[in-house]
Amino acid sequence: MRNLNWRKSIGACVLIFGQTSSVSLADSVGGQAWDNIALNVTVEADAPLATDDLVAADRLRHLSREIPALACLSALPNMRGRIEPRMVSANEEFVHALTVLEYGHYGNFDRRNDLKPGVLRDISAVKDMWRPISRAVRDVGSDRSEASASLVEAGSVVLHDLTLDLYAQVQTLNSNSFELSTRNAVLIDVAGRPEMLLHEMIQVSCDLATGNDDLAKLEHLKTLATRFEQTLTVLSAGMPQAGVVPPPTEAIVDKLQLVQNVWEWMDVSGDLSNSSKTEDVRWSEFCHHLTQIDKVLAGLVELYADQSKPVL
């Protein structure tokens, strides 16, 4: 199964889930030809086109958050051996998602003449920004170069902003379509937020583990943890005023319960208040706990996306 998640901003949920910040766009960065870094990808064609486009566009937003967190984790001695495979697969997934948007389900049908100018412009901007970052990602995965990790972290700030613009364009074209109702769009959006929050938590806790410790970061981490817990509660119980219904399938009920159980078993709240360990050990262990929760979260959005497909 593809690991493609998608989310969009929902005004009714801002108070609960927070609002994604953006930065001013930087000039596109030149680099090697896109064809030279594109990978051979196989895209399944088992989902409606509108859903695939939104899932792919959101996957780009998600990866632009995850990749800098992985680059930071690569500097932690007890995490290095675990990070390299994920750095490689993240690179592949980024190209995969762009391929879906430009070349359709199987990656062999040129859709660019059918896309709106705004979508094409934003795809081009994302690709230009991704070129130097992708090279640095490969360097981090191979020699864990500190300079490469720094480039990934700095460049991904701009990349994330560009992917937000691209997602907004794709969302405008595909929302409330026959293939994807507004209600299901809301459900998929909220289902993807725990993973987004978790990767931001990994980034912040990794900063703390590498010595970038200040009170503001710790408070931000606590806020993110609270939002994570609130999001799980909303998904489990529903929030009608935000368009979120309770879990529509037993598989989703079971998945949410598993995530909740692991979150509580890992005692994340206790980790945040535990100061008996040295800071580097404390936050390194915390990062490890979060990466384990991330593994349990995998597949939640796909469950929501599967149940949203229309019966033809």
In DSSP notation, 87-138 reads HHHHHHHHHHHHHHHHH-TTS-S--GGGS-HHHHHHHHHHHHHHHHHHHHHH
The answer to whether 42 and 106 have CB atoms below 8 angstroms apart is: yes
- Summarised one tens digit per residue, pLDDT across range 114-135 is 777 888 899 999 999 998 888 8
Indicate whether 109 belongs to any domain: yes
Indicate whether 29 belongs to any domain: no
The answer to whether 155 and 23 have CB atoms below 8 angstroms apart is: no
pLDDT at 19 over 80: no
If asked whether residues 279 and 309 sit together in one domain, one would say yes
Indicate whether 111 belongs to any domain: yes
Instruction: Measure the CA–CA gap between 185 and 79, rounded to whole angstroms.
Output: 35
Nearest to 302 by CA among 203, 221, 149, 191: 191
CATH code at 174?
A: 1.20.120
Torsional sign, CA 114, 120, 126, 131: positive
Q: Given phi > 0 = left and psi -120 to 50 = alpha, else beta, which region is 243?
A: left
Indicate whether 232 belongs to any domain: yes
pLDDT of res. 312? 56
If asked whether residues 172 and 229 sit together in one domain, one would say no
Of the segments 75-79, 211-215, 240-244, which one has the largest average pLDDT value? 240-244
Indicate whether 306 belongs to any domain: yes
If asked whether residues 210 and 155 sit together in one domain, one would say no
Tally of domains in the chain: 2
Instruction: Measure the CA–CA gap between 104 and 109, rounded to whole angstroms.
Output: 6
What does each C-alpha distance from 182 to 179, 185, 252 come to in angstroms? 10, 5, 19
The token pair at 306 is: 């599967």
Nearest to 197 by CA among 81, 96, 69: 69
Instruction: Measure the CA–CA gap between 255 and 267, rounded to whole angstroms.
Output: 19
If asked whether residues 191 and 88 sit together in one domain, one would say no
DSSP state of 245: P
- Summarised one tens digit per residue, pLDDT across range 292-311 is 898 898 888 888 888 876 66
If asked whether residues 172 and 192 sit together in one domain, one would say no
244 DSSP β-pair partners: 239
Give me the helix-helix angle, 117-143 and 146-174, nearest 10°: 150
3-state helix, strand, coil in the chain (%, to 5): 70, 0, 30
Indicate whether 11 belongs to any domain: no
If asked whether residues 200 and 253 sit together in one domain, one would say yes
Instruction: Measure the CA–CA gap between 68 and 49, rounded to whole angstroms.
Output: 30
Indicate whether 235 belongs to any domain: yes
The token pair at 198 is: 């978790």
Q: Long-range contacts for 116-125 (Cβ within 8 Å, ≥24 apart)?
A: 116/169, 116/173, 118/169, 119/166, 119/169, 119/170, 119/173, 122/162, 122/165, 122/166, 122/169, 123/98, 123/166, 124/28, 125/25, 125/28, 125/162, 125/165, 125/166
The arithmetic mean of pLDDT across residues 61-69, rounded, is: 87
Domain end, chosen from 119, 152, 180, is at 180
Of the segments 55-64, 137-146, 241-250, 299-308, which one has the largest average pLDDT value? 241-250
If asked whether residues 74 and 85 sit together in one domain, one would say yes
If asked whether residues 216 and 189 sit together in one domain, one would say yes
Indicate whether 277 belongs to any domain: yes
Which tops the pLDDT comparison, 47 or 217?
A: 217
pLDDT at 192 over 50: yes
pLDDT at 72 over 60: yes
> How many other C-beta atoms can be found within 10 angstroms of the C-beta atom of residue 49?
16
Domain holding 175, by residue range, is 37-180
If asked whether residues 220 and 312 sit together in one domain, one would say yes
If asked whether residues 42 and 131 sit together in one domain, one would say yes
